[in-house]
Chains A and B, each alone.
Chain A
Amino acid sequence: MKIFDIALRDLVRSFRSASALIFMFGVPLLVTGMFYFMFGNLARDGGFNLPRTKVIVANLDAGGPKFQTSTKGIPGSANARTLGELVVSILQSDDLAELITVTRAPTAEAARAAVDSQTSQVAIIIPADFSKKFADPDAQATIEFYQDPTLTLGPGIIRSILNRFMDGMAGVKIVVKVFVDAASPQDYILVNQIVRRYLDTSLAEKEDVASALIISRTPTAAPKEDNPLLRIVAPIMGGMMVFYAFFTGASTAQSILKEEEERTLPRLFTTPTPQSTILGGKFLAVFLTVLVQVITLIIAARLIFQIEWGALDLVAPVAVGIVFIASSFGIFVNSLMKDTKQSGVLFGGVLTITGMLGMISIFALNSPGAARLSETVSLLVPQGWAIRGLLQMMNGNNALDVLLTVLAMFVWSVAFFVIGVWRFNQRYA
């Protein structure tokens, strides 16, 4: 019973301290909130909210010799009668509707004027001889690209789309030229088939042009949640929780040294209470304090940031694993300290360095090349295992993987706890 009295007393003291509360709950949520707002331009519904680029097209193309080819694989190409119309059709396709808004201008000057007056951001001017020059093996078909110089991202995407189109069409020209040069006149009839096949395998090889240009990759350790904002915020929240859980473990365990200095610990030893009960109560307080912190942060993060932690039957063991490893690490580290004057070394050095090392796997989530190395490095410190467990849980890894990580956390915890308890018992023997 006395063990709970001591633990309860420590809990009351911890939760009465405004600074402790700020570090336990406020700072982790605040830091995560900062990232949440920093990346707030990410759509809550799962996509980037890039502003649409306003494109004005002056299609002056008068047409040229027709290729009897199918352009059915090219988006929006159904009604294209000239190459200029084909370019416009691609820009107006549904696949690009999220990225650009296309209007038409009657003349090149009107298109440029629209950019100059900032009513449009990009002007595309397709000259009158565009199709004709394309059909001429010795001529160079060009499109004028006129953009607002202050913008980069939107015009860059459109330029990429056009480049891809122009590259494809240039390829067609080269293929036809090579064929015509090498084939006998009776084989010229095959030109249409060659062009069709080339277009089928180049321009139309993807389902849509936009997807060929924008490669979407899901980080290996990101949650299944489609919302990219949460893909960023969730690991950060997990990292913050682990980082500050270790801080709480250490600072609560430091109350043993603090009580020694405040002389309440020696006084406790003058009461008819066994030393094992006194130290046990102190250790229990550390576990309970971190437990309250972790549970509160998990719930708060779910409510505030809509973070999906994963299946409940895995959240519980991972949370308990974090509580055990953070608490026992705090007890262990404090058992090595002479007095609270060394807390600067503990908090500024040990906890910060090991915490950052543990979180390195989060920082490297979107750098696939560094992910493996960073995960290996992070597993050198206990925080790394806690974060590994969290990420596995959020990624929906299979239960065995998660439980193995939890098991590893318990092994760390037992080692830290045994050493810490032994050292404290020696100290007060």
Chain B
Amino acid sequence: MSANNIAISVTDLHKSFGELKAVQGVSFQVQRGEIFSLLGPNGAGKTTTISILSTLLRPDQGDAQVMGHSIRRDPMQVKSVLGVVPQEIALYEDLTARENLDFWGKMYGLRGAALRQRVQEVLEIIGLADRANGRVGKFSGGMKRRVNIGVALLHKPQVIYMDEPTVGIDPQSRRNILDSVVALKNQGMTVLYTTHYMEEAQELSDHIAIMDRGKLIAGGTNAELVQLVGEQTRIDLTLTVEASRVLPIWRAVEGVAHVSAEDGRVTVLVADSNLVLPRLFESATRLAARITSVDIREPNLEAVFLHLTGRALRD
């Protein structure tokens, strides 16, 4: 990866809040014009990392360059090339959508006709041109999310951070947001996207970094990450007996790579489900246990996370 092609370069970031080590030695690089996702469960350290890269938090150790500007030495330069979509809706609810965009545009240095024109463009991008004069407080959650994103687009930033932008919204709005993220990439923007939804990271990302407990535990393309679990299929089963009774038996079954149990459900990673599944039924029958449900999933990031941490991603 050539240095000129790097939008964000993070080196050994550390951040603690008292005893809590929120970010521990995180390093990664994001190429220009790509969508890079930070994937991890709640509390993994994604938002803290984004906050440091937004210059909102000062790292205890380490540094990051955004479009060549150091977050430590040139925070104002970093801010000027950056658009941030925070996890929470950060808008003035008693102002209209247009007034919000107008105000935030001024904060990014836009003025006069250029501001008015850009506000109108953004209203059209986020699909709210016809609701421009409605108060944001009266908007639905999805509409607010769209304005929330629109604010970050006003100054045509080179890099945009989106911190879990689809949390708590309806499927239609979610779809709109995901489409707009792809559209931003197509316009040449670099997107750093955090999520705990595996499907989003899988669908959107050119590169994905998986975070857990403040550490980066894996990184690469979706295909590269799936390779980590050896293209294994995940089989979730529920039984009429305690899971602990079948675990030692199933671990010994030929073709089984990994077995774990959570909340009465047993998860088995296998190379070929067609071969292994009959063996699992057979051994369960020998234990006088009945399998009441089976869910087969092709290899994905969920399996990767499980493989790496022993826990489900949504924990």
| A binding-site residues for B, Cβ under 8 Å | 1-2, 5, 9, 12-13, 16-17, 262-264, 266-274
Contacts and interface: CB of A to CB of B under 8 A. Distances in A.
Given A271-B104, A273-B107, A264 B80 contact: no
Interface stretch (B35-43, B83-91, B193-201, B213-221): B83-91
Contact of B55 (A5, A267, A270): A270
Given A9-B103, A270-B79, 18 more contacts: A5-B107, A12-B95, A13-B94, A13-B95, A16-B94, A17-B94, A264-B90, A264-B91, A266-B56, A267-B84, A268-B107, A269-B56, A270-B54, A270-B55, A271-B108, A272-B79, A273-B107, A274-B76
Contacts of B106: 1-2, 5
Most chain B CB within 10 A, of A262, A264, A267, A274, is at A267
29 contacts: A2-B107, A5-B106, A9-B92, A9-B95, A13-B94, A13-B95, A16-B94, A262-B92, A263-B88, A263-B89, A263-B90, A264-B91, A264-B92, A266-B86, A267-B84, A267-B151, A268-B107, A269-B56, A270-B54, A270-B56, A270-B79, A270-B82, A270-B84, A270-B86, A271-B79, A271-B104, A272-B76, A272-B109, A273-B107
Query: Which secondary structure dominates where chain A touches chain B?
Result: helix
B311 to A, nearest CB: 29
Contacts of B89: 263
Nearest to B106: A5
Interface in B31-90: 54-56, 76, 79-80, 82, 84, 86, 88-90
A269 B86 CA distance: 12
Interface in B168-199: none
For the complex of A and B, list the 3 residue pairs with the smallest distance between their C-beta atoms, beginning with the closest: A267-B90, A263-B90, A271-B107
Contact of A266 (B80, B82, B90, B104): B90
Nearest to B51: A266
A295 B61 CA distance: 52
A260 to B, nearest CB: 11
Contacts of A13: 92, 94-95
Interface in B95-138: 95, 99, 103-104, 106-109, 111
A348 to B, nearest CB: 24
A271 B104 CA distance: 8
B83 to A, nearest CB: 9
A9 B91 CA distance: 12
Nearest to A273: B107
Contacts of A9: 92, 95, 103
B56 A272 contact: no
A159 B55 CA distance: 85
- Bin chain B's interface residue count: 20 to 34
B2 to A, nearest CB: 27
Nearest to A261: B88
Given A5-B103, A266-B56, A266-B86, A272 B92 contact: no
A255 to B, nearest CB: 10
Contacts of A16: 94
A16 B55 CA distance: 33
A267 B79 CA distance: 11
Contacts of B91: 264
Contacts of B84: 267, 270
Nearest to A278: B107
A13 to B, nearest CB: 5
A267 B86 contact: yes
Contacts of A264: 90-92
Nearest to A264: B90
A269 B111 CA distance: 19
Contacts of B111: 1
Contacts of A272: 76, 79-80, 107-109
A263 B85 CA distance: 11
B112 to A, nearest CB: 11
B82 to A, nearest CB: 7
A215 B109 CA distance: 70
B192 to A, nearest CB: 13
Contacts of A2: 106-107
B74 to A, nearest CB: 11
Contacts of B79: 270-273
Contacts of A263: 86, 88-90
A269 B52 CA distance: 12
A264 B103 CA distance: 12
A262 B88 CA distance: 8
A12 B98 CA distance: 14
A270 B109 CA distance: 13
A270 to B, nearest CB: 4
Contacts of B56: 266, 269-270
A340 B198 CA distance: 37
A24 to B, nearest CB: 16
Most B-side CB within 10 Å, residue of A13, A266, A270: A270
B214 to A, nearest CB: 21
Contacts of B107: 2, 5, 268, 271-273
B252 to A, nearest CB: 52
Nearest to A277: B107
A268 B76 CA distance: 12
B15 to A, nearest CB: 16
A266 B107 CA distance: 13
B100 to A, nearest CB: 9
Contacts of A270: 54-56, 79, 82, 84, 86
Contacts of B99: 12
A66 B103 CA distance: 96
A2 B102 CA distance: 12
Contacts of B80: 272
A271 B75 CA distance: 10
Contacts of B109: 272
B279 to A, nearest CB: 53
Contacts of A271: 79, 104, 107-108
A10 to B, nearest CB: 10
B255 to A, nearest CB: 50
B92 to A, nearest CB: 6
A266 B52 CA distance: 12
Nearest to B79: A272
A206 B106 CA distance: 76
Interface in B1-44: none
A70 B38 CA distance: 112
Interface string B209-233: 0000000000000000000000000
A193 B105 CA distance: 98
A267 B107 CA distance: 10
